[in-house]
Every structure is written in structure tokens, then in C-alpha cells.
Structure 1
Amino acid sequence: MRRTKKKNVDFILYSTSLVFFLVFLAGCSSDDEEDMGNWQIRSVFDGKPRSSSAYFSIGNKGYTGTGYDGDDYRVDFWEYDMDGDYWIQKADFPGTPRSAAVGFAIDGKGYVGSGYDGVNELGDFYAYDTGANSWTSIAEFPENPRREALAFAANGYGYFGTGTDGDNDRKDFWKYDPSADTWTELFGFGGDKRRGATSFTVNDKVYMGTGVSNGVYLKDFWVFDPQSESWTKLLDLDEEDDYSIVRSNAAGFSIGSYGYIACGTASGTLNSIWEYDPVNDLWERKTGYEGTSRQSPVVFSNGARAFVGLGRSGNLYLDDIKEFLPWEEYDEDD
């Protein structure tokens, strides 16, 4: 009887210890995951702090302009040198001062258009020649002018859609052909209407999600194949209980074979950042943006490096910028 009792006690002690050990490991794993990713301070933006600026990247240069500074809509335009970590002011954007415009780049040339001037939604577009530092008007968007739309480039074309025209959130998508200077409507996107969505590109596929419509932050997530110009629905952004990716007015970018969604707003500004693995259709939380949480920031990325900055937190307009290093451990002292 004594031997049986001792065995039972030993088993209970062993089981209890094992449970505590597994819980400890799980806690360490979660902490380790959230400690992965480091932010390093880079050169503060030389222009006036602002939010909702248009932006795009070409090689190791990031470009941004327009936006709203809390008092005025802007037209000044800037270049950020990723290697040298400095800013240069370029030729002003030639259109009406605006915020919530889009930007994208095709074959070494930048494109900026749409947005809001404080009274009206806009549909005009312009091309920026980086070598000549000059702007040229291109074909105006043929459908409802809008703001807070989504734009990206793929396969030598520009793609533009969603947003709001002031009376109605939109879900249509259009293709811009720079050689013909024409817009063509595309069909096949089955997602919700939205404004303030974001996207990133991994291995020539474009991943799109987030945004808000009718006061609801959207959870659907999609991949666009530029070769077939078709959309495929992926797992929702709240598929797992520990995911908290839904938001609007965030920054989307890619580094290597992973995509990222950072900052934004969802009943308040956010600093969280999530890493997406396209192979497994899974998300992992990384170290949050180091500094003030924000919505409507800009992001510059060359596929190997990424820089996030500007934007606003409530009525505070921001001009700082930081580089994200996803595979370094967080260091609060750098």
C-alpha cells in the first residue's frame, strides 16, 4: 500500500511539474516572438510634420509628398536616401494641395493621384520623372474621384481601387497602362467595400486587406495574381483568437519573402506590427513600432529594408522615421 501511494504522489508531482514547465515554455515562446524585430531611429523628415501623404519607392530611394499638417493641405515633395539616411526636397507636386492620395512606381517612374483637398475628392493623376525632377499630367481617373484608395504596381501596370467618393465606399479596381496612358476597369474582386486598406507584394503576388466601411473594421484578406489578374480569398485576419490585425490606415510592406502590416487605427491609433508568411497563410506578431503609435504613416521599402514614419496620433502630426529590422532582437537602447 505504501509503495502504491508513493507512486501516485510521484506521478502527481511529476505531472504538476510538467504542466508548469510547458506553461513556462509557452510563455517564453510568446515573449520571444514579440521580442523579435528591432526599430532603429533614422533621419527625421525635413519637411513639416504631416499625415496621409502619398508615397512610393524606387530602388534605394523613397519619395513622399502632399498630405495634411493639421492646418494646410500640402504639395511639397521629398526624396529619402535609404543608404545615406538624408532627405532632399524635390519639385513640388503640381496638382491641387491634397491628402489621402495614392502613390506607386512603374519602371523607375512614380505616379501620384486622387485624394481630398478639404472640399472635394479628386481624380487627377501625375507622373514623376526622378531623373529630370519633373512632373507630367497623365490621364485622369475615369470613374468617381476618391480618397483613401489603394494603389500598387505589378507586371508593368498600376492598379487602383477601393476608397471613398464621399458618399459611398468603393470596391472597384482599375488598371493603368503607362504606355497607352489609359485606365481599364477590372472585374473579379469579391471583397467588401472599404477605405484605408493596405497591401504588400511578395514573390510577385499582391496581398491586400484591412480597411473600414460602415464603421466596421474589415477582416477579409486577399491575394492578387497579376498574371491572371484574379483575386483569391485567404484566411480572415481574425482567423486565430490571438490575432489582432484588423485596422485601417496602416502601412504595408515586404522584406524578403514575408509581408508586414504596421501601425494604423482601430478605435485608437496602433503601434503593433504583424508578419505574414504567404507559404503557410499565417501571421506572427513582431515588436511594435518604437515610439508614438500612429495612423496614415508613409513606408519606404526596397524589398530588403523598410522605413516607417510620419502620420498622426490624434491631433499630433509626426515627422519621425524608423527602420524596421525584423530578424533582430529588440534593443531599447539603440
Structure 2
Amino acid sequence: MNRKLSITILLQAIMLLVYGQGSWQQIASVDTFGRAGAVGFSIGDKGYLASGGGKNDLWEYDPLLGIWTQKASFGFEGRLYAVGFSIGSYGYVGTGDGSGQLHDFWCYVPANNSWTQKANFAGGPRRWATGISIGDKGYIGLGSNSSGNCCKKDWWEYDPGTNTWTEKAKLPGLNRGSAVGFSIGNKGYVGTGGVENQYGRTNDFWQYDPATNTWTQISDYPGRGWSWGVAFSIGEYGYVGTGVDTNSIYTNDFWQYNPSNDSWIELANLPGEPRYSAVGFAISGKGYIGTGETEGLIAYLNDFWEFTPSCETPAGLTTTNIKATTAKVNWSVEPTAQSYSVRYRKTGTVSWTKTTATTNFKKLAGLAPNTQYDWSVKSICDAVNNISSDWSSTQNFTTKPLRLEAESEVETTLEVDPNPFHFQTTISFYIEQEEHTTLEAFDLTGRKVMLLDQMMQPGDHDFVITREQIGYGVFLVRLITGNETSIIKVIVQ
């Protein structure tokens, strides 16, 4: 075999192996000095790092430009071991360790680069707490109080609309501090952490449901007890890594949690130094980890790394809106997919017809009536470098018999892109004949927002909805045209 060809094949194999576990790339370092105990969060397409090492500065990362820009410093005391999260287009930072343990709480507004003080955290002065956001609410709990006792298990909900705190159900299990947390959809996930001295560190994990105010234990974080790590979510998966284990060994482990089957899988380790008390956040389908403390002469780090999840095969395949000549094929969103390739054919034939989709569904048209079809889909994660997933398992459906025109059914296809969204999204639908059409959004409490109520002409229609119209959280959007109803879940982050 040609030596150059052999090297090329080997490099491609290595790239695929790394990509199968997810891949890491070093990006620009933040600031000129290392730090530990900072907080990280993301707003839209930007990432933010605040505080740490007793500082009160704020840095913004732009992944398109690959640069950090210093923004407005807090108008308050520098700190470390605080918490930070975002709700919609605002960032929130509070608690921590400064001249003493703190309970103040602040809101950052990127639009005018300013900070506003909000109601103090109602759980009292706190360090080593855990904070996350779920929908349009924020949550803080656990950690150590001002008396120095380790640790607590309380859980508080912050409502930015009313600027109030409400105590919620306590986390079951051991009291703890330095735990990690993330949210996926309308659920929160909290686990690990340093616990009472006789136990050291724990690796248990819990799911919080704000709709019922209940905690459910899920699979333990793999390995030994562990604390001071980082966590974030991308799409339908959670990611947890770094930290210090029960034997006080600094780690660079990195794991993915899949809530659909309650399982953990190990991914490619974070390059660079093992560390604890780092920060992590996610932007546009990629994760970021940086800073923290390690061993050696240069104990405090300022490096940052970008994680790209592996290109996964779509799951959750379904077929809906099956008519005589059309059908809608659907699958779960894959966070790293730039697009999808869909193939279909008549059952028993060899050749596939291929088409592309930019969202997690596709309307197939021009089908033969009363005919069985096979179809499958794969993720396209990098079209330039030809990185894609395997094809999914084959699904099949049978089109309906052809009806007389007078007996034909009205067809509607409801699509939302992007979904989830931060600021606005476009709802697209198609109807075959003039019909009275209503479009409604329902939140999880049943609150209804009427978006559209009028006669619509046949054809394709696009309707823009904004976060200001319906709010934050998980919604069911219902389209009613004549006697046909279509429902789709929409997530507003």
C-alpha cells in the first residue's frame, strides 16, 4: 500500500475514534492570570465567566471570533465559590465567599452591559452552593452557611418576574457542598459533592421536577465520590467532568448523561492539567471548560477548551400525518447535527431516494397511494469534512388509499425552527384548502396564549413567535385547521 495513503487512512481512523468520544480543541485563554472558584453561564451565542479568586470581573467569550472581552465588573464585592446561571437573556450571580460568606444576588444585562442588585438569596449567606435554571426560574441550594457548618440540602426557587425566593423540597440524601447541576428540558439534575466529614465525597445524582416539586434518584455518577466539578447540558444530554475524587486526586474525566435511558458513558478526557473548581458552560451545541486549580508551581489556570460532542445517530423515529401521497417523518434532535440526510424507498426495492432536512422532521411528498415505504435518517455534523453518523435503523409506514377529491382529507404539517429557541422561532405549516385556523401555545400549567385565529388560504404559511409573546419554558403549540389538529413541543430557553 502507498505510504502516503496509509498515513491518510490512519489519521482518518484516529479522527473518527476521537470524534466518536467527542473532540476537544484549545481556545483562547481568559485574562492573563489564572483563577479558581469562578462561575460560568451562557446567554444566547456568548459565554460568560465571572468572579473567582476573589475577583469581581466579568469576561464574555465570542465563539465566532474566538476572543474574550472584559465587560462591566460587578459593582460589589469580589468573591469565589459563588453560583451563576442564565434565565433567558439575563445572567445571574450570587452568594460565595468574599470578606465573609455572602448572600447578595445580582442580574447582568448584556444589552447595556450593566448589573442590577436583586433580592438577596433567602437561604442566607452561602458558599459552595449549586445553582441552575429550569425554564424561566432559577434555583440555588446546598453548600455551607456562615456558621461554617458543612453542609446543607435546602433548595430555593427564584422568580425573576416577581424578584422573590421560595423554598422548595430539600434534596434527599446527604447534606453536601461543591455539587454540580445542569438542566435538560423541564427537569434539573444535581449530584456529587463534598459531604459531612465522616463520608468525604459522594457520587449520587438526583433529578428535580419543578412541576411536582419532587426529587428522584437516578444512576450514580460513575466511579468514586467526587466534588468541585463542572456540568452543563447540550441538547438532550448532560455533561459532567473534572473535579477531585475521594482520594483527593485531581481529575480530567468527562462523562455524558442520557436521561432517556438513565445512563452514563465516558467521553474523551479534558486535555491539559487535571483540575478542580473550574467553570463550564455550553454555547450553540458545544461545551466549554476552563480555569480552575491544579497541582504544581502554576496552581491556578486560565486555559480554556472547547468540546464538540460526537456525531450521534438520530433516535426516536416516528411517522405522522400519513396521507395517500405524503407523510411526515420525525426523529429526536441531535445537538451536533448541522443537518440531516433522510432516505426512503418502496419496501422491497433497492434504490433509495435521498433528501435533506435542517430540522428534526421532513415531509415526504410524491408517494404512491396504498404503498409501504422504508425510511431512515442520519446526522450530518460536518459537511465540509464529511463527518456524519451511521444510518438509523429502518422504519416503515404505509400510505393511505387514494380518495376521490371530494372525499380528500385536509392536510397540515406543523414545523418549528429553531427549537429550542432563545429569542424567536418560526412556525411553518401547510394546508390544502381554505380553512379557519387557530394556533395556540400552552405552558405546563395549562395557561393558553392565542397566537392566531383567522381564515387561512391554501398553501405554505410561516408564523413568527417570540419569547416575549409566550415566556420561558416548555410549551405545547397546537394548530387546528378544520377537523385536523397538530401538536408540537416547543422549548423557550
TMscore range, shorter length: 0.7 to 0.9
Give the aligned partner of residue 300 of structure 2: 317
The AA in structure 2 aligned to 1:174 is W
Of residues 195-204 and 123-132 in structure 1, the stretch that sits farther from structure 2 once superposed is 195-204
Q: Is the 8 A contact 1:256 1:303 kept in 2?
A: no
Letter of the aligned partner of 1:253 in structure 2?
A: F
Q: Find the counterpart in structure 2 of residue 44 from structure 1.
A: 29
Corresponding residue for residue 182 of structure 2: 200
Aligned amino acid, residue 88 of structure 1:
T
Three-state SS of the structure 2 residue aligned to 1:308 is strand
Q: For the pair shown, which has the larger CA radius of gyration, 1 or 2? A: 2
Displacement after TM superposition at 1:47 (Å)? 4.4
**Are the counterparts in 2 of residues 155 and 227 from structure 1 also a CA contact under 8 Å?**
no
Aligned residues: percent identity?
Answer: 38
Return 300-309 or 107-116, whichever deviates more: 300-309
Q: Match of 1:305?
A: 286
Matched, 1:138 2:156: no
Residue 150 of structure 1, aligned match among 130, 134, 143 = 130
Q: C-alpha separation between the residues in 2 aligned to 1:47 and 1:144?
A: 34
Deviations 1:238-274 (A, max 9, x none): xxxxx32631111101222221111011112100111
Native 8 Å contact 2:175 2:196 kept in 1 = no
The superposition leaves residues 10-36 of structure 1 with CA deviations (integer Å, 9 ceiling, x where unpaired) of xxxxxxxxxxxxxxxxxxxxxx69972
Contact 2:205 2:220 in 1 (8 A): yes
In 1, Cα distance between the equivalents of 2:31 and 2:121?
Answer: 31
Distance 1:137 1:87 in 2: 25
Alignment of 1:194-233 (within 5 A): 194-215=176-197, 216-233=200-217
Structure 2 alignment gaps of length 5 or more = 1-16, 312-493
2:62 to 75, 81, 90: 81
Q: Is the deviation greater in 315-324 or in 122-131?
A: 315-324
Match of 2:168 among 186, 191, 205: 186
Q: State how far apart, in whole Å, the 2-side matches of 1:142 and 1:122 are.
A: 11
Q: How does 1:124-135 map to 2 (within 5 A)?
A: 124-135=104-115
Distance 1:156 1:47 in 2: 35
Is 1:56 the counterpart of 2:41 in the alignment? yes
Question: For 2:184 and 2:157, how far apart are their aligned partners in 1?
Answer: 19
SS of the residue aligned with 1:324?
A: strand
Q: Partners in 1 of 2:45 and 2:129 — Cα distance?
A: 25
User: In the alignment, is the contact (CA less than 8 A) between 1:67 and 1:100 conserved in 2?
Assistant: yes
Indicate the residue corresponding to 1:7 in structure 2.
none
- Which has a greater percent of helix? 1
Q: 236, 239, 243: which is aligned to 1:260? A: 239
Aligned to 2:218: 234
Q: Note the alpha carbon deviations across 1:43-76, whole angstroms, 9 max, x for none.
A: 11134210111221111111111111xxxx1011
The 1:51–1:142 alpha-carbon spacing in structure 2 relative to 1, beyond 3 Å, is same
Where does residue 169 of structure 1 map in the other structure? 151
Residues 176 and 75 of structure 1, relative CA distance in 2, 3 Å threshold: same
Q: CA deviation at 1:162?
A: 0.2
Give structure 1 regions of 4+ aligned residues with deviation exceeding 4 angstroms.
32-35
Partner of 2:3: none
What is the number of equivalent residue pairs in this alignment?
A: 288
TM-score by length of 2: 0.56
Equivalence for 2:310: 327
Alpha-carbon deviations, 1:96-133, whole Å to 9, x = none? Answer: 1110011111121111010001x411101111111110
Picking from 83, 97, 116, the partner of 1:102 is 83
List alignment gaps of at least 5 residues for structure 1: 1-31, 238-242, 329-334
- Give the CA deviation at 1:154: 1.1
CA–CA separation in structure 1 for the residues paired with 2:238 and 2:307: 12
Higher RCO (Cα < 8 Å, 6 or more apart) = 1
Per-residue deviation at 1:287? Answer: 1.0
Matched with 2:333 is none
Specify the code of the residue in structure 1 equivalent to 2:151: D
Letter in 1 for 2:237: Y
**Which digits, 9 at most, give the CA deviation of each residue in 1:122-168, with x for residues without a partner?**
10111111111011111112233110100111121111000111223
Distance in structure 2 (CA, Å) of the matches to 1:171 and 1:273: 25
Question: Is residue 2:105 matched to residue 1:121?
Answer: no
- Residue 99 of structure 1 aligns to a residue whose secondary structure is coil
CA contact (8 A) 1:245 1:274 kept: no
Contact 1:33 1:286 survives alignment (8 Å): no
Q: Aligned partners of 1:245 and 1:152: how far apart in 2? A: 24
Q: Per-residue deviation at 1:227?
A: 2.3
State the shift of 1:170 in Å.
0.6
Equivalent residue runs for 1:62-73 within 5 Å: 62-68=47-53, 73=54
Query: Distance in 2 between the 1:168 and 1:208 partners?
Result: 17
Alpha-carbon deviation of 1:188? 4.6
Give the CA deviation at 1:85.
1.1
SS at match of 2:36: coil
In the alignment, the residues of structure 2 paired with residue 142 and residue 205 of structure 1 have an alpha-carbon distance, to the nearest angstrom, of 22
Q: Distance in 2 between matches of 1:262 and 1:220?
A: 14
CA distance in 2, matches of 1:230, 1:259: 20
Aligned to 1:280: 261
Amino acid aligned to 2:213: E
CA contact 2:231–2:281 (8 Å) conserved in 1: no
> What amino acid does structure 1 have at the position aligned with 2:201?
Y
Q: By how many angstroms is 1:218 displaced? A: 1.0
Which structure has the highest strand share of the two?
Answer: 2
